[in-house]
């Protein structure tokens, strides 16, 4: 599904990723854990195509196609989705208008027709119910005045509606209370399927109690320094990141 | 020492001779102080950038030659021009149609005027010496304004719209101005809207004209709003690409009255829209918004004066300018709070979105406060579309032009939201979308 080969990235002359390699298979949920400053968020932005980062070397292949040659919208149409750590507020853009524009833009890019309004409303309502998103929120401007938890739920709603192949969740657990964490995790788990993979980026093992990963990778200083099963997360929770800081140095 | 005299420009010399020849046609009963107005204008001339209020909008340079006042067109010409006019066409309204500044009775709904409203063509009012004419020019500061005085001097046509006290008028009146012709012409229209106590009334103004013709419209709307009356005004400038379009709206606000005025500007190689508010009665409120979407080297100027002369007035002004290419936006806003106008609450804001590096925006906010218990503020911003917001939208699959359009729409939308009339609001939103589409 997703293959990252020898990825080297810098921002303003600071090397962040140093030849990172990672493979996530079809249907797999991979978790990336690591200390602050290890390059986790950079990785998520580079996958999604944010302009500020300079890719010096390497490839990111989604089903064999190098996404580094695509603009962010082309990547989204190809099936990539990034759930932002800090979803942005967009005053003046209605949530429903935004959702419909996104769905239709992706459909157009794939050569499909636009979604009908009744179908659209039905889909949004069904997805919103699952995520316990109140209808009133959908009538407001996108993310404006939403709480942290509401914003994260809105990210998962978008993910559910856009039906991506590969989802990157960038610290989706940050700023969530216990109930919101459960709701968001259930939303993600409901989307787990063959043909869809996840890269879950987190500091804490807590999220992985709810979204149980198939593989866990430890990232430090811009490299994957250890890979294991879900038990690796538990190990890290006990021992901390100290070992890996020195290992990568 | 020799006297120093400013050289008169070709346009100024021509305006004097045009006024001289127009003089014969003025009716003696008309109660319009044309001579006084023209005398003022002759003394000041066309304002150049050396005049503070015109620092960024140099009319002396922009108007190389003064165009001849347009004659009333034939009905066929007027019909052809109106058939091409689409602004606010979908809105159910009583229409007053002006072609080249002349009211065309046959293309107006003078026989369908809503109950509680009286409409009198200005020419009729002038020839009969209608007492309502005394209410023209309700804001004193316009006497110092050359654009306004030029309109008074050359006033050719218009209408008096009078709304009875207590009347709530559902159907809006649409003042439809259309310009047509192969060669340059000028217009000078005046519409007076008076609202009786507690009346509620909406009117729309649209200005459309041909591209490629350097016509010079100068339109004034005077409004006199009695106590507790409520006036809604929506204006659309879709003038032709060579037009030098001058316009003014004045409002005299009675106690507890309210005006909401929104102006959306696309057209004219140069446009200047002037707003004069006079808070005469206590606790009056005004919401005045403007949006300009400019491309192809255009200049749009919004100049506002809010004069708070009574206790407890509230004014809210929001101006949004979108600049594409080498265009220029100008906003000049002045809030005056007189000593008697305690508890005044005035807020003024001008935001600009620069879509390219070639454009420019001039903001000049001014506060003149003589009372000690007031809350007044102003702010101005200028910048490119937010890269992080663009990335967020693109990461959801929106191609860059669509993402950018969505952000521009949201930016301008804030100024349009306040339009109370739903049809007018939707029409303005449609106009914004249309502009974004032509931009590609």
For chain A, give every domain's residue range.
Answer: 2-248
Minimum distance, in Å, between the CA of residue A99 and any CA atom of chain B: 9
Predicted confidence at residue A101, as pLDDT, reads: 93
Q: Does the CB of A88 have a partner CB in chain B at under 8 Å?
A: yes
Q: Does A72 touch chain B (CB under 8 A)?
A: yes
**SS3 of residue B19 by DSSP:** helix
Beta bridge partners of B168: B200
What pLDDT does residue A249 have? 40
Residue B361: pLDDT above 60?
Answer: yes
Q: Which residues contact B351 (CB under 8 A, 6 or more apart)?
A: B318, B319, B320, B321, B380, B381, B382, B411
Buried b (16+ CB within 10 A) or exposed e, B380-406: bebeebeeebbbbbbbbbbbeebbbbb
What does the block give as tokens for B299? 């200049």
Please report the pLDDT score of residue B80 as a whole number.
97
Contacts of A102 in chain B (CB under 8 A): 396-398
Are B409 and A92 an interchain contact pair (Cβ–Cβ within 8 Å)? Answer: yes
* Residue among B185, B204, B203 nearest B194 (CA): B203
Mean pLDDT over B144-151 rounds to: 97
Which residues of chain A neighbour B416 with C-beta distances below 8 Å? none
Tell whether B393 is within 8 A of chain A (Cβ): yes
Picking from B76, B73, B68, B122, the residue whose alpha carbon sits closest to that of residue B100 is B73
Output the pLDDT for position A93.
Answer: 87
If you average pLDDT over every residue of chain B, what do you get?
95
Sequence-separated (6 or more) residues with CB below 8 Å from residue A122: none
Tell me if A88 and B398 make a contact (CB, 8 A cut-off). Answer: no
Phi, psi dihedrals of residue B58, rounded to the nearest 5°: -85, 100
Average pLDDT over residues B336-362: 96
pLDDT at A246: 53
Q: How many Å apart are CA B223 and CA B191, to the nearest integer?
A: 8
> Is residue B6's pLDDT more than 90?
no
CB-count burial class (<10 Å; 0-12, 13-18, 19+) for A118: exposed
Q: What is the pLDDT of residues B191-230, one digit of tens each?
A: 999 999 999 999 999 999 999 999 999 999 999 999 999 9
Least confident of A16-25, A234-243, B46-55, B383-392: A234-243
Q: Say if A71 is an interface residue toward chain B (CB within 8 Å).
A: yes
B401 touches chain A (CB under 8 A): no
User: Taking Cα atoms as reference points, which of B6, B7, B8, B11 lies closest to residue B64?
Assistant: B11
As a residue count, chain B comes to 440
In the sheet that holds A29-33, the strands lie side by side as A80-83, A166-170, A197-202, A29-33, A215-220, A223-228
Q: Which CATH superfamily is domain A2-248 in?
A: P-loop containing nucleotide triphosphate hydrolases (3.40.50.300)
Q: Are B243 and B213 in contact (CB under 8 A)?
A: yes
Residue B388 pLDDT: 94
Interchain contact B384–A (C-beta under 8 A): no
Tokens of B419: 């339009």
Q: What is the pTM of this model?
A: 0.89
Of A50, A72, A92, the CB nearest to B413: A92
pLDDT at residue B429, as a whole number: 92
User: B151-177 pLDDT, tens per residue?
Assistant: 999 999 999 999 999 999 999 999 999
Hey, are the CB atoms on A82 and B410 less than 8 Å from each other?
A: no
Per-residue pLDDT reduced to its tens digit, B249-300? 999 999 999 999 999 999 999 999 999 999 999 999 999 999 999 999 999 9
Best mutation target, A49, A73, A104, A155, to test chain B (most B CBs within 10 A): A73
Question: Which two three-digit tokens encode residue B161?
Answer: 């719209």
Q: What are the tens digits of pLDDT across the range B134-143? A: 999 999 999 9
DSSP string covering B195-259 = E-TT-EEEEEEEEEE-TT---EEEEEEEEEE-TT-EEEEEEEEE--TT-EEEEEEEEEE-TT-EE
Over residues B357-384, the mean pLDDT reads 95
> What pLDDT score was predicted for residue A203?
85
B29/B366: higher pLDDT: B366
Which chain A residues contact residue B411 at CB under 8 A?
92
Q: Residue with structure tokens 């930016």?
A: B411
Find the length of chain A: 249
Facing residue for B398 by CB, picked from A50, A73, A82:
A73
Phi, psi of B368 (to 5 degrees): -125, 105
Query: Tens place of pLDDT for every residue, chain A, 249 residues?
Result: 999 999 999 999 899 999 999 999 999 999 999 888 899 999 999 999 999 999 999 999 999 999 999 999 999 999 999 999 999 999 888 899 999 999 999 899 889 999 999 999 999 999 999 998 998 889 889 999 998 889 999 999 999 999 999 999 999 988 888 888 998 899 899 999 999 999 999 988 889 999 999 999 999 999 999 999 999 988 888 888 877 765 444
Instruction: Tell me how many residue pairs between chain A and chain B have CB atoms under 8 A apart.
Output: 75
Burial class of residue A76 (count of CB atoms within 10 Å of its CB; 0-12, 13-18, 19+): buried
The verdict on B10 touching A (C-beta cutoff 8 Å) is no
CA distance A34 to A236: 9
Cβ–Cβ gap A73/B399 under 8 Å: yes
Task: Give the span between the Cα atoms of B137 and B221, in whole angstroms.
Answer: 9
Find residue A59's DSSP bridge partners.
Answer: A5
Whole-angstrom distance, CA of residue B248 vs CA of residue B354: 26
Quote the CA–CA distance of A191 and A171 in Å, as a whole number.
Answer: 18
Distance separating alpha carbons of residues A25 and A38, to the nearest angstrom: 23
Considering CB atoms only, which of A82, A91, A101 is closest to B395? A82
Give the tens place of pLDDT for each residue, A33-65: 988 889 999 999 999 999 999 999 999 999 999
Choose among B387, B388, B396: nearest Cβ to A102: B396
Q: Tell me whether A109 touches chain B (CB under 8 Å).
A: yes
In terms of DSSP H, where are the helices of B298-385? none
pLDDT in tens, B295-337: 999 999 999 999 999 999 999 999 999 999 999 999 999 999 9
Burial-class residue A11 by CB neighbours within 10 Å (0-12, 13-18, 19+): middle
* 8 Å CB contact of B396 and A76: yes
Give percent of chain B with pLDDT exceeding 70: 98
Instruction: Average the pLDDT over B338-359 and give the result.
Output: 96
Q: Which residue has the tokens 């996840």?
A: A198
**Cβ contact, residue pair B392, A90, below 8 Å:** yes
The pLDDT value given to residue B4 = 56
From CA A107, how far away is CA A99, in angstroms rounded? 12
């Amino acid at each position: 599904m997703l293959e990252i080969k020898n990825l080297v990235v810098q921002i303003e002359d600071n090397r962040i990723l140093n030849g990172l390699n990672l493979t996530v298979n079809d249907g797999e949920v991979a978790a990336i854990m690591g200390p602050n400053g290890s390059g986790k968020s950079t990785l998520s932005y580079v996958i999604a195509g944010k302009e500020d980062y300079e890719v010096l070397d390497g490839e990111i292949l989604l089903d064999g196609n190098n996404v580094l040659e695509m603009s962010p919208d082309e990547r989204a149409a190809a099936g990539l989705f990034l759930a932002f750590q800090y979803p942005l507020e967009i005053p003046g853009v209605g949530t429903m208008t935004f959702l419909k524009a996104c769905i239709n833009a992706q459909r157009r890019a794939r050569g499909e027709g636009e979604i009908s309004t009744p179908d659209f409303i039905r889909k949004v309502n069904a997805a919103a119910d699952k995520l316990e998103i109140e209808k009133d929120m959908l009538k407001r401007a996108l993310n404006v005045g939403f709480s942290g938890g509401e914003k994260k739920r809105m990210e998962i709603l978008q993910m559910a509606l856009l039906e991506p192949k590969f989802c990157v969740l960038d610290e989706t657990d940050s700023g969530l209370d216990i109930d919101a964490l459960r709701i968001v995790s259930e939303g993600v788990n409901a989307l787990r399927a063959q043909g869809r993979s996840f890269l879950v980026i987190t500091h804490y093992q807590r999220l992985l109690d709810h979204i149980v990963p198939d593989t866990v990778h430890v990232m430090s200083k811009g490299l994957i320094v250890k890979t294991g099963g879900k038990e690796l997360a538990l190990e890290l929770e006990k021992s901390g990141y100290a070992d890996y800081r020195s290992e990568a140095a | 020492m020799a006297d120093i005299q400013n050289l008169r420009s070709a346009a100024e010399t021509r305006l004097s001779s045009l006024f001289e020849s127009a003089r014969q046609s003025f009716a003696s009963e008309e109660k319009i102080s044309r001579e006084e107005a023209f005398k003022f204008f002759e003394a000041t001339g066309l304002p150049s950038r050396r005049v503070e209020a015109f620092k960024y909008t140099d009319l002396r340079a922009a108007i190389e030659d003064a165009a001849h006042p347009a004659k009333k067109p034939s009905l066929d010409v007027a019909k052809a021009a109106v058939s091409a006019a689409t602004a606010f066409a979908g809105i159910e309204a009583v229409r007053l149609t002006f072609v080249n500044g002349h009211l065309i009775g046959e293309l107006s709904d003078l026989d369908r005027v809503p109950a509680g409203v009286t409409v009198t063509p200005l020419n009729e009012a002038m020839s009969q010496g209608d007492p309502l004419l005394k209410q023209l020019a309700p804001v004193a500061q316009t006497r110092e304004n050359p654009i306004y005085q030029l309109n008074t001097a050359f006033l050719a046509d218009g209408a008096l719209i009078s709304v009875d006290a207590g009347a709530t008028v559902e159907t809006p009146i649409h003042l439809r101005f259309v310009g047509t012709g192969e060669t340059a012409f000028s217009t000078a229209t005046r519409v007076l809207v008076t609202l009786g106590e507690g009346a509620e009334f909406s009117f729309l103004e649209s200005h459309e004209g041909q591209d490629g013709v350097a016509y010079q419209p100068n339109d004034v709307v005077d409004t006199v709003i009695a106590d507790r009356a409520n006036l809604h005004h929506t204006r659309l400038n879709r003038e032709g690409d060579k037009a030098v379009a001058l316009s003014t709206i004045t409002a005299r606000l009675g106690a507890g009255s309210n005006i909401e005025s929104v102006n959306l500007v696309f057209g004219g190689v140069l446009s200047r829209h002037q707003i004069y508010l006079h808070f005469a009665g206590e606790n009056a409120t005004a919401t005045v918004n403007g949006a300009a979407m400019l491309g192809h080297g255009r200049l749009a100027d919004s100049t506002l004066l809010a004069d708070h002369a009574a206790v407890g007035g509230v004014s809210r002004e929001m101006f949004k300018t979108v600049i594409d290419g080498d265009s220029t936006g100008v906003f000049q806003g002045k809030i005056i709070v007189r000593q008697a106008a305690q508890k005044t609450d005035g807020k003024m804001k001008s935001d600009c979105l620069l879509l390219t590096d070639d454009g420019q925006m001039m903001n000049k906010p001014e506060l003149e406060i003589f009372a000690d218990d007031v809350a007044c503020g102003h702010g101005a911003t200028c910048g490119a579309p937010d890269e992080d917001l663009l990335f967020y939208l693109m990461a959801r699959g929106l191609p860059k032009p669509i993402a950018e359009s969505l952000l521009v729409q949201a930016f301008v939308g804030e100024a349009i939201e306040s339009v109370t009339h739903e049809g007018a609001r939707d029409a303005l939103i449609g106009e914004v979308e249309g502009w974004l589409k032509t931009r590609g």
